[in-house]
Amino acid sequence: MRTYDLSPLFRTSVGFDRLARMLDTVGQETAPSYPPYNIEKVSDDEYRITMAVAGFGEDDLDVTVERNTLTISGRISETVSEGNDGDQAERQFLHRGIAARAFERRFNLADHIKIDQASLENGLLHVTLKREVPEEAKPRQIAINGKSKAKAIEGKSSAESGKETA
- CA–CA separation, 1 and 3 (whole Å): 7
Query: How far, in Å, CA of 166 to CA of 161, rounded?
Result: 14
**pLDDT tens, residue by residue, 106-158:** 988 888 888 989 999 998 999 999 988 888 877 888 888 866 555 555 554 44
Residues in the chain: 166
- Residue 148's pLDDT is what? 55
Task: Tell me which architecture the domain covering 35-132 has in CATH.
Answer: Sandwich (2.60)
Q: Could you count the other beta carbons within 10 Å of the beta carbon of residue 73?
A: 14
Count Cα neighbours of 19 within 13 Å in the Cβ-side half-sphere: 11
Mean pLDDT of 24-47: 75
Q: Is the pLDDT of residue 83 over 50?
A: no
Q: Which amino acid is at 162?
A: G
Domain extents for the chain? 35-132, 134-166
